[in-house]
Structure 1
């Protein structure tokens, strides 16, 4: 099967150097194997999307010299696929009427990467109880997560094991306002697009077990995973879309040569140069990459 990588920005804010590093590494991985490289705009959370931001992000990726195969895919145009996936998951999905505040007050709930673990309050509601609650509040949809650990190998960070039921519990697939959750949309899209490589920031490592579970339940081939340590700002802080000084638009406005940006991002990642012909995931540093001082 042909190697296929992807970059999937969300047009809710400007791309910064950390996003650019992820795009570069994922592009290098795909091209080093002679594979396809796809672009997906994750604009499914429409209330948070900034008008014109998707077009700006695509322009900035081209400015960096990155290319992709075919036209970009927009999640907002693919809701039918997510509905089909919910139907395919069948009885693995159930309605949940709990608010975030109600879940948070459960004293025994440990904290996962998306907040308190869901304690399964609505997992066994009767048909009559669901109908009664539906009249009071629109439900979200959750996945019934089986107990036990799930192991996987990360091409950069090595072997990992997560017990999703113990740390997260049954997680949301579609919010009460009708917006599909990231975990479902990204898995459905990766399967439909034939993605075989997923390289992204290490902050998404904890999502991997959930996504593997969904791939398996949907009968999809699992991609290979690679999570790059985060890029940190000059003070060691995590980068934010609100920090315009490190945004691609600010660098472009200052007249910075994009070739210098690419060379710098390769260097802080442990690579000699940004060249697919000599690229290897084994060369990527497992330590966070520090931007200070910027050489441009």
Structure 2
């Protein structure tokens, strides 16, 4: 069975690179009828943040990424790690290292003077004497002293490291007894049955060390897929300014989770020339073998394009739910479905919908000054007043359009002679959905009131 996992450290919020990793693992498990696990690697008790943990879980919920079983917390599994550390000690595959700070500093100075790579020299590897007093030892694993550590990466192909170049007898438990990252990862992945590990290639240097631990404990080594990083449009490491921000910030920006996931899956993975995928489609077609070896480029305009597509095409209830998640409840307004259909046609984000809705629902308190200078004069005001006088009954948008065309024909006018003045009067802006749809939503009585208020304000100017 395919078992994958996502294992973030709650020392910061979940960013989009992490979400992409989670998505790839999720899709691969779902496609193969396997399991997808969520594990919180919270062994760094000094740096852990409860808020960050909550934000990770909230991001998963918002994106709709469900996980199998309960969430695993490494901080609750210390007894398990101690058991396996003791196993390695008992089997002479690990040992206590009593190296003092002075010894370490002296070794580093010697290596630097000789222009050697800083590394532990194994001086306590086979120590059998009396332990020095006053030293709380760390525990180191006996790593291979020569040969190669090789594995097949599902994205990069065969990868091989010289043992003496990449690993020394690295620490698996600190002086306070707490296990290190590489050790806990191996124990958890093995005990949880993780078969495939998809992660960023910034973890590539950890892999040979983890393989050493797998083999020392007699665990099967999973298959690894190391995914290239997401770069900015300029080809540099993605920064917060470029988009490497908290996933929930995208929600606050009015991005739909469907759009964000669609965007992320394409940052490094492809399926022909296809650009738009539903989650159900991805669960059927995703394969890590189609992940690119090259770094992907973050393009916010592509995300906006996808978001605009999903805003136009998502079912009404789905879109309404996402708007409610931003504190905007359509159900408190009249004609909520008509209102949303009117607004979604022009929106790139949910914030566009919310702002446009407020412009239409509420009587304007101010009017676009540039629009007034460009479009308003004594003639347009006269035309607008006459138009308001002729408005006499409720219509559908198409009927308002016919009414307006007849009005223009009767008074030998063109649409430009009234359209922007009417739009300013009704919304305060020069950009809005179809003015005829706005008329239908606002209604004749309120439209007349808004026009009269606009005319009063304009009389003080013209």
Give the TM-score of the pair, scaled to structure 2. 0.59
**Higher mean C-alpha deviation, range 183-192 or range 208-217:** 208-217
Query: Cα distance 1:249–1:98, how it changes in 2: closer, same or farther (>3 A)?
Result: farther
- Give, in whole Å, the separation in 1 of the partners of 2:244 and 2:287: 30
Q: Which residue of 1 aligns with 2:125?
A: 123
Q: 1:139 aligns with which of 137, 146, 150?
A: 137
Take 2:30 and 2:76, find their aligned partners in 1: how far apart are those partners?
Answer: 27
Secondary structure at the counterpart of residue 227 of structure 1:
strand
| Matched ranges for 1:1-296 at <5 A | 2-90=1-89, 91-96=92-97, 97-99=99-101, 101=105, 104-107=108-111, 108=114, 110-111=116-117, 116-128=118-130, 130=131, 132=132, 135-146=133-144, 147-239=146-238, 246-272=245-271, 273=277, 275-294=282-301, 295-296=303-304
| More helix as a share of residues | 2
Q: Deviations over 1:134-163 (max 9, x none)?
A: x32211111111121121101111100112
Q: Secondary structure at the match of 2:17?
A: helix
TM-score, normalising length: structure 1: 0.89
Unaligned runs of 5+ in 1: none
RMSD of Structure 2 on Structure 1 (CA): 2.2
The structure with the larger Rg is: 2
Change (3 A) 1:177 1:242: farther
Higher RCO by CA contacts (8 Å cutoff, separation 6 or greater)? 1
Paired positions, count: 287
Deviations 1:162-202 (A, max 9, x none): 12333231111011233211111000001111111111001
CA separation of 1:233 and 1:37: change in aligned 2, threshold 3 A: same
* Inter-partner Cα distance in structure 1 for 2:154 and 2:72: 26
1:25 and 1:201 mapped to 2: Cα distance?
Answer: 11
Maintained 8 Å contact 1:16/1:240: no
> More deviation in 235-244 or 220-229?
235-244
